[in-house]
Every structure is written in C-alpha cells, then in structure tokens.
C-alpha cells in the first residue's frame, strides 16, 4: 500500500466544537486542544521493501549505493509505513482506532480524542490526558507543541493554515486560510476597493445586454478564471464555519 489515511476537515472542526460544547473532561477538568508536530516522521518506520538510494555527498563511492533500513521522505510507501508505526504505538497504549478513518483515535478511559494529519497530531483532552499523550509520543518520537488553546491556555492556534481561536465566552471560531482571500483580491486587482453590505448589485438591462456581446475570453483569462473558482471553492470550506457554544 502506498498511501496513508487522512482525516476529513470536518474531524478537526468536530474537535473544536467539542472543546466549545463540553468544556470539561469526564474527570471534570478543563479541556484543551493541542497540536503536536513530529520531527522527521517518515524516518521512524522500518522499510518494508528494497529501496536503493544514492549515497549522500561526501560518502559517495564508485558503483556503490545505499539500501534503506528505514523509510525516507520521497519514497512511495513512507507515509503508509509511518501510519502503521504510530497506529501500533497508540493501540498498545489503550487508544481505539477509528474504523471509517484510521487516522482518528480515542482513549475512552482517559477521555482523549485525537486525529493525525501526516505528522501533525491534534489532541483534545484535559491536562492529564495531554500529558498521557505526550508521554506516549516521547517513548518513540521527537516532537514539539505547535499550539494549545483553552480556558487557561493561549487563545489562538494555526491548524492546517486555518486560524483557530478560543474566545473569552467559551466559543471557538475556525477561520479560513486568509491567504486565499488575499490572493483572490490581488488577482482581481481589487486591493483598493471598498466593501459592500450586500452580496451583489442590481444591474440595468442595458448593462446585462452589453455583457452578451463581449468577445470570448482568451486562454490566459480562462486559466485565471479557473484558478479563481477553485481557490474560492477551497476557501468556501471554512468561510461559513463558526463553532459556538
């Protein structure tokens, strides 16, 4: 197998919603949402097939190459082997793996829920649950915490280039990647434009008739149009998302 399972974006939004709605764990302690990043994730898994690579500069020798004992970034099955590696570790530590999405885990006794997106672990749990997760990771991996939000923690965190904010009233907002909106504005040349309070404008009949005789778009403008539509579609995944109590 040459791929790893990725959780849907909705899974991350659900964890944000649970943080806002539940607020406390089964033990009655405040919940927090943390993001952990694994360093050099693809180098942990054992290579499952013969893969030969060029020797690194300084170790090169004529007619010689290297046989990988560990997976490496760029090899076809590295992400799948990595998923097998961390899945086995979590199951040994009492986590239950999701059936529909094998990159989602839950520890029923410790009330910890997490999802894995590549080498990023998004974890919902109280401080004891977070510590248990960190202890699990530190047994095998080097990692860093890239953000933690909750009533007693930071208010902002970046997740998959989205901005997640924990507000003072206990609500959680999930904001789309702002770069997409900025690029759409820039590509359309609207940097100096003013905002409007309505989603559209009422056009005169003469304006509508005038657009019907416009010349066909050239290849360059056609490419730009398709790019803008797909960027707007990607942006639309998150623009309407507001997770309240």
pLDDT per position as a tens digit, 144-200: 999 999 998 889 999 988 999 999 999 999 888 888 888 988 888 888 887 777 767
Q: Is the pLDDT of residue 207 over 90?
A: no
Q: Is the pLDDT of residue 76 over 90?
A: no
pLDDT per position as a tens digit, 80-94: 999 999 999 999 999
pLDDT per position as a tens digit, 99-129: 989 999 999 999 999 999 999 999 999 999 9
Q: pTM of the predicted model, to two decimals?
A: 0.79
Q: Is the pLDDT of residue 241 over 50?
A: no
Per-residue 3-state assignment (H helix, E strand, C coil) for 186-244 = HHCCCCCCCCCCCCCCCCCHHHHHHHCCCCCCCHHHHHHHHHHHHHHHHHHHHHCCEEC
Q: Is the dihedral of CA 20, 115, 94, 89 positive or negative?
A: negative
Counting every residue written for the chain, the total comes to: 245
116: nearest Cα among 1, 40, 11: 11
Least confident range from 14-18, 73-77, 236-240: namely 236-240
Distance of CA 221 to the CA centre of its chain: 31
- The reported pLDDT for the residue numbered 6 is 83
pLDDT confidence of 15, banded at 50, 70, 90?
very high
140: nearest Cα among 127, 121, 124, 125: 121
Q: Does domain 9-175 have CATH number 3.30.70?
A: yes
CA atoms within 13 A on the CB side of 35: 20
SS3 97: strand
- The reported pLDDT for the residue numbered 198 is 72
Cβ contact 151:170 at 8 Å: yes
The share of the chain scoring above pLDDT 90, in percent, equals: 51
pLDDT per position as a tens digit, 32-70: 999 999 999 999 989 888 989 888 888 888 889 999 999
pLDDT confidence of 2, banded at 50, 70, 90?
low
Where residue 241 falls (left for φ over 0; alpha for ψ -120 to 50; beta otherwise) is beta
- The reported pLDDT for the residue numbered 3 is 65
Say which residues have a Cβ less than 8 Å from residue 204's Cβ, sequence separation at least 6: none
Domain with CATH 3.30.70 in the chain: 9-175
Q: What is the mean pLDDT of the chain?
A: 88
Q: Is the pLDDT of residue 243 over 50?
A: no
Say which residues have a Cβ less than 8 Å from residue 49's Cβ, sequence separation at least 6: 77
Q: Is the pLDDT of residue 245 over 60?
A: no
Hey, what are 55's tokens? 């020797």
Per-residue 3-state assignment (H helix, E strand, C coil) for 133-161 = HHHHHHCCCCEEEEEEECCCCECEEEECC
Q: What span, in angstroms and rounded, lies between the C-alpha atoms of 232 and 234?
A: 5
Q: Is the pLDDT of residue 208 over 50?
A: yes
- The reported pLDDT for the residue numbered 30 is 96
- The reported pLDDT for the residue numbered 202 is 77
């Amino acid at each position: 197998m040459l791929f790893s399972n990725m959780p849907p974006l909705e899974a991350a939004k659900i964890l944000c919603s649970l943080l806002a709605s539940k607020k406390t764990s089964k033990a009655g302690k405040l919940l927090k949402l943390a993001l952990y990043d694994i360093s050099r994730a693809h180098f942990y898994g054992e290579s499952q097939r013969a893969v030969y690579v060029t020797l690194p500069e300084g170790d090169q020798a004529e007619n010689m190459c290297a046989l990988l004992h560990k997976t490496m970034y760029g090899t076809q099955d590295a992400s799948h082997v990595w998923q097998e590696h961390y899945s086995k570790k979590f199951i040994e530590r009492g986590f239950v793996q999701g059936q529909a999405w094998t990159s989602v885990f839950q520890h029923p006794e410790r009330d910890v829920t997490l999802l894995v997106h590549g080498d990023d672990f998004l974890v919902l749990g109280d401080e004891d649950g977070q510590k248990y997760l960190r202890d699990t990771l530190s047994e095998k991996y080097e990692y860093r915490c890239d953000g933690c939000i909750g009533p007693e923690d930071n208010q902002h965190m970046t997740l998959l280039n989205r901005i997640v904010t924990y507000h003072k009233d206990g609500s959680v907002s999930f904001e789309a990647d702002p770069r997409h909106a900025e690029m759409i504005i820039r590509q359309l040349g609207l940097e100096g434009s003013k905002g409007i309070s309505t989603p559209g404008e009422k056009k005169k009949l003469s304006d509508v008739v005038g657009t019907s005789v416009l010349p066909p778009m050239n290849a360059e403008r056609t490419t730009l149009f398709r790019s803008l539509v797909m960027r707007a579609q990607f942006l639309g995944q998150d623009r309407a998302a507001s997770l309240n109590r």
